[in-house]
A and B are shown apart, each in its own frame.
Chain A
Amino acid sequence: MDVKDIIKPENRVYSKSPVLTSTIMHYCPGCSHGTVHKLIAEVIEEMGIQEETIGISPVGCAVFAYNYIDIDWQQAAHGRAPALATATKRLHPEKYVFTYQGDGDLASIGTAEIMHACNRGENIVVIFINNAIYGMTGGQMAPTTLIGMKTATSPYGRDPKLHGQPLKITNLIAQLDGTCYVTRQSVQTAAAARKTKRAIKKAFENSALGKGTSFVEVVSTCNSGWKLSPVKANEWMVENMFPEYPIGDLKDR
């Protein structure tokens, strides 16, 4: 059978979600951001909530998320996305509100905002991209940077005596009574990406049920910041990030 006989509209099993715009993403080749954007768009499409969803974009590479996911967006000052999401959700309780934040944004500059929003149990979804580095600004050390990991501001590797320990903020958030669902996922393989999609869908469903804050951490790569090829970065993540940030649900009630 010829390939031309297979490529027909009636045989199509996977195509770009209409919630994603056709703009070419500015992300580096192989960046996890693109995969997570796609999964969010697919969940929004499947739930039919494109008109009811408001995203809060962070400061960082994902600041341009509004160019790629065709929903309403707001852009918050660095780390303040949960505060803006709180206001948006309280003013529009019928809407689905989610924040999309990196580790520098959520775990360093916005620690107060995320802790208190989760503790209050705001009915929002938090998507947390943890790549252990400040990606956009040039690969500086983040609170989540692993011990011994070389970055632009820790050229000899992170030293716990000098820089402290990697911050497992998801574990802290799981202890707060306001959160209903806290999970850690990844997107390096198709199976992992499908699990992450299920987690994101569950988080949005929790938001509609008014159960509290849902928190989805996605352990990600920053291959440019890590100075590795996309495939090598995924391998490095599995080898080094997963022991420190193990995949799985931390809380589900």
Chain B
Amino acid sequence: MALRGAIVVDTEKCKGCSVCVVNCPTETIALSKEVNSKGYNYAFMASPESCTGCTNCATVCPDTCITVYRIKV
């Protein structure tokens, strides 16, 4: 059984600190080229197929702007 996950980032709250990027064990997350209204490059799922929904990114996010979903397939 494999785990598939997905994250939803509150892009307006994200400050682009990259702490989630380095904490992601599957290198799913990256910072976007686009910016939010504050000018921050927000985090997004660069490779959605590799996310396992481990919640590491959301646990270390200082601004608690990540919601994590997980499903068994």
Contacts and interface: CB of A to CB of B under 8 A. Distances in A.
A189 B23 contact: yes
Interface residues of A, number: 36
A165 interface: no
A34 B68 contact: no
Contacts, number: 101
Contact of B60 (A1, A24, A29, A35): A35
A231 B22 contact: yes
Given A3-B48, A7-B8, A24-B13, A35 B69 contact: no
A33 to B, nearest CB: 7
Contacts of A24: 12-13, 63
Interface of A: 1, 3, 5-8, 11-17, 20, 24-25, 27-35, 38, 187-190, 193-194, 229-231, 234
Which are the 8 A-B pairs with shortest beta-carbon distances? A34-B62, A30-B17, A29-B15, A190-B56, A29-B17, A14-B68, A230-B17, A6-B6
Interface of B: 4-6, 8, 12-13, 15-19, 21-23, 40, 45, 48, 53-71, 73
Given A15-B68, A38-B61, A190-B60, 17 more contacts: A5-B71, A11-B71, A12-B69, A13-B68, A14-B59, A16-B65, A20-B64, A24-B13, A24-B63, A29-B62, A32-B62, A188-B19, A189-B23, A190-B23, A190-B54, A190-B56, A230-B19
